[in-house]
Amino acid sequence: MKIAILGAGISGLSCGLKLNEFGFEDITIFEQDSQIGGLAKSRIKNGYVFDLHGGHVFNSNFPDVKTWVFNMLKQKDWKFQTRNTKILYGNRLINYPFEYALLELSEDEAIECVVDFITAKNKPKPDNYYNWLIYAFGDAIAHKYMIPYNEKIWAYNLKKMSIDWIDGKMPISNVKQIIASLLKRNSSKAEIPHATFYYPNKGGIQSLINIMAKNIKAEIVTECTVVDIDKIKRKFIINGQDKFDLIISTICLRDLIEAVRGLSVSVRKKAADLKYNSLTTAFCKCAKNDISWFYIPDKKIRAHRVSYQGNLSSFNCPSGNGSSATLEMIGMTDPEQDAKEFNRYRKIDNLKVRNIIDSAFVKYAYIIFDKGYKHNLDSINKCLDNYGILRTGRFAEWKYYNMDVCMKRAFDTAGDITRKYK
């Protein structure tokens, strides 16, 4: 059976490897870029290691995913660490999450936050993300942090966003922990999901990708964009050349629909209506610190997050050379300008970044779950199911997946194929 996988990111590679385990070996992976890894790529420049599209750390609640990953890149080759994340609140850094760091605010602000948190649940159940943030956190926390930060990262009207994607993605805080963090006067001890994580000792997240590619029994064709898919007599024809019995797509649904011949105008319109955000990253040298990353709700600064990739592994920086920071900005921006603007914000002198070493851009970074997405997605899925193209992965399924969930989904997809065709 000849299988084509579209995209050599985490999902495409995981699916290929799992199919190998189940006995499929006639696999071709088409990748548009010259470098494999998708969102999980790294680059080495002047001795600094950068994950191109924001620092990619690994952990998973799926034991089979963890075992599988550590069978490839051994556990000793990862640095296990505790997350030290902050929020730039006004002119200082406070602990993350905001609701458990209220003791770092003034007494009046903290009281306002607690009271609003407790009374928020008396409000009507929300039907959009903006109101959900108020419902879940109360007016004060929502307006001081949640809403401004979310307006930056989504760059979309929060009142036009749905809430059905939130489950499992947005940690729900509880009043007991809010009060405990205040009374025990310790915000950093709050239990948060993903409080610990692993990061490769050497080579950034690319080292995981590279080992996956080394192990896989498949032909990986890079610099090959899939732009045309046809189906003749139950065979799929990709870019007018190669014939396959099965296609598994991990590429963005918008582009997949565009490539498939003979689909209705209506479904094409629905795919084109799926909304997403792009991401620009600026890699900079900076002074040493112990922060994993921090969030910036302040709209005067374009960056919404700074991740200290130099702190994720000591091998990410040339020895004795301070640390490195990645500024993350939504959209296509001018990274030099963004870094200057970040530094101009005088109140954060000790966080200033030094010269930019490099920058990157990725078109598909975040899915925007607008109110119409579900309706569009249902029609698109129905159409692709009828056509017979399988989908697995973040933009292929239009789900807010992290790497481990992409792997889990790839396992499921490979399992389904095995049950059907073996």
Q: Least separation, in Å, of the C-beta of 186 and ligand FAD?
A: 26
The 10 Å CB-count burial string (b at 16+, else e) for 63-98 is eebbebbeeebeeebbbeeebbbbbbbeeebbbbbb
State which residue, 48 or 366, has the beta carbon closest to ligand FAD: 366
Using CB atoms within 10 Å of the CB of residue 155, give its burial: 0 to 12 exposed, 13 to 18 middle, 19+ buried: middle
Which C-beta is closer to ligand FAD: that of 32 or that of 128? 32
* Rounded distance between C-alpha atoms, residue 126 and residue 139, angstroms: 13
* Residue placing its CB nearer to ligand FAD in the complex, 181 or 413: 413
d(CA 35, CA 210): 10
Q: Looking at beta carbons only, is 57 or 87 nearer to ligand FAD?
A: 57
What does the radius of gyration of the chain's CA atoms come to, in whole angstroms?
22
Closest separation in Å from C-beta 392 to ligand FAD: 7
Cβ 199 to ligand FAD shortest distance, Å? 9
For ligand FAD, which is the closer residue by CB, 7 or 335?
A: 7
Output 139 or 404, the one with its CB closest to ligand FAD. 404
CA dihedral 256, 257, 258, 262 (to 10 degrees): 130
Paired tokens of 187 = 């915000």
CB of 60 to ligand FAD, least distance (A): 8
User: Cβ 72 to ligand FAD, closest distance in Å?
Assistant: 15
Return all residues near 305 (Cβ < 8 A) that are at least 6 apart.
Answer: 54, 153, 293, 294, 295, 296, 327, 328
Closest to ligand FAD by CB, 221 vs 356, is: 221
Least CB distance from residue 205 to ligand FAD, whole Å?
8
* Closest to 303 (Cα-Cα) out of 184, 193, 149: 149
Structure tokens at 6: 């579209």
Show Cβ contacts of residue 128 under 8 Å, excluding neighbours closer than 6 positions.
158, 159, 160, 161, 162, 163, 371
The token duo for 65 is: 């995913």
Which CB atom, from 87 or from 140, has the smaller least distance to ligand FAD? 87
Length of the chain, in residues: 422
* Smaller CB separation from ligand FAD, 262 or 320: 262
Closest to ligand FAD by CB, 181 or 311 = 311
Q: Which of 254, 255, 253, 233 is nearest to 245 (CA)?
A: 233
Q: What is the closest distance, in whole angstroms, from the C-beta atom of residue 84 to ligand FAD in the complex?
A: 15
Q: Kindly tell me which of 287 and 332 has the beta carbon lying closer to ligand FAD.
A: 332
Contact call for residues 249 and 11 (beta carbons, < 8 A): no
User: CB 19 → ligand FAD: shortest distance, Å?
Assistant: 15
CB of 406 to ligand FAD, least distance (A): 5
Q: Which residues bind ligand FAD (CB under 6 A)?
A: 6-12, 30-33, 38-40, 53-54, 56-58, 225-226, 250-251, 255, 279, 328, 364-366, 393-395, 401-404, 406
Closest separation in Å from C-beta 121 to ligand FAD = 31
* Residue matched to tokens 């948060």: 192
> Across the strands, what pairs with 79?
199
Task: Tell me the CA distances in angstroms from 343 to 259, 305, 346, 354, 418, one per residue in order.
Answer: 43, 14, 7, 9, 54
Supply the minimum distance, in Å, between the C-beta of residue 422 and ligand FAD: 24
How far is residue 178's CA from residue 171's CA, in Å, rounded to a whole number?
13
Q: Which of 34, 1, 8, 4 is nearest to 393 (CA)?
A: 8
